[in-house]
Amino acid sequence: MRESGEFHAPYMPEVDFYTFVKNGDIRKIRKLVKEDFADKKGLGKLSKDKLQSLKYHFVITAAMLSRYCIEGGMEHEKAYNLSDMYINEADKCQTLKELSDLHKVMAIDYTSRMKYIINSNVLSRPISDCIEYIYLHLHEKISLDDLADMVNLSPSYLSRLFKSETGITVSNYIQNKKIETAANMLKFSEYTPGEISSLLAFPSQSYFTEIFRKHIGTTPLKYKNQSHNKL
């Protein structure tokens, strides 16, 4: 490797990356993923085709993330299902840019989930189950009745319990998580506001724009342009 001028990435920064994810350190992960995955120095050449080589590295990263997160308290099945989902999405990528964007979304997704797990030790099991369901179904329309059926509680009781433990209503929590996810997708992927509105099951793009501006202070398109200019 030395004779060919190729070097693998140093070990400790890799450990730091996975440890930050495991610890739910969103701030540090956001900083680390500013560098495109495709531009990362020290990645071994696993295939003659550059895109295929990067896909192999993506699979390794997904597997490592799942294992570190399991160590941090994520349930085995949930960690592995998340890994499988991202690997399947990576397989569909046709450019290095698409794969790099997906890597950023995956890293932030795992980190956000770990942050929730670390902070949720004080929550009751029904509320923890509801929050986990919300995370896994952000691409769908989620109702209070759906959640109540899942945890075998009446909607009115679940509504009171949820607000008592989290400080906000079920609908506000769902909305917050959808907007948080939308902001990540706008910042770290090439999805358009219209595509994100559809993917996150907002009733219309105009409603998505209205709610996004209420939470973030600007429109999705302006946020996307401002974020990409900073990267």
Task: Please tell me the distance from the alpha carbon of residue 74 to that of residue 12, in angstroms, as a whole number.
Answer: 23
Q: Picking from 36-45, 193-202, 208-217, which range would have the lowest pLDDT averaged per residue?
A: 36-45
Q: Is residue 6 part of a domain?
A: no
Q: Is residue 3 part of a domain?
A: no
The boundaries of the domain holding residue 190 are 125-230
More confident residue, 3 or 170: 170
For the CA atoms of 128, 131, 133, 137, the dihedral, rounded to the nearest 10 degrees, stands at: -170
Q: What is the predicted pLDDT for the residue at 228?
A: 67
Q: List pLDDT tens digits, range 112-162.
A: 989 888 876 667 889 988 988 898 888 899 999 999 999 999 999 999 999
pLDDT at 1 over 50: no
pLDDT at 53 over 60: yes
Same domain, yes or no: 20 and 91: yes
Q: What is the predicted pLDDT for the residue at 94?
A: 92
**Rounded average pLDDT over 91-119:** 90
Same domain, yes or no: 34 and 15: yes
Q: Which of 119, 143, 159 is the last residue of a domain?
A: 119
The answer to whether the predicted template modeling score (pTM) of the entire model surpasses 0.75 is no
pLDDT at 11 over 60: no
Taking CA atoms, 200 is separated from 15, 86, 154, 194, in Å, by 32, 17, 26, 10
Q: What is the predicted pLDDT for the residue at 2?
A: 38
Given pLDDT bands bounded at 50, 70 and 90, which one contains residue 170? Answer: very high
Residues contacting residue 50 through CB under 8 Å, at least 6 positions apart: 38, 96
Q: Which of 86, 102, 119 is the last residue of a domain?
A: 119
Task: Please tell me the distance from the alpha carbon of residue 92 to that of residue 29, in angstroms, as a whole number.
Answer: 24
Q: What is the predicted pLDDT for the residue at 7?
A: 39
Mean pLDDT of the chain: 87
Q: List pLDDT tens digits, range 198-228.
A: 999 999 999 999 999 999 999 999 999 887 6
Same domain, yes or no: 97 and 191: no
Q: Which of 119, 145, 177 is the last residue of a domain?
A: 119
Q: Is residue 175 part of a domain?
A: yes
**Rounded average pLDDT over 44-63:** 91
Structure tokens that stand for 51 in this block:
């895109």
pLDDT at 107 over 50: yes
**Rounded average pLDDT over 100-110:** 92
Given pLDDT bands bounded at 50, 70 and 90, which one contains residue 9? Answer: very low
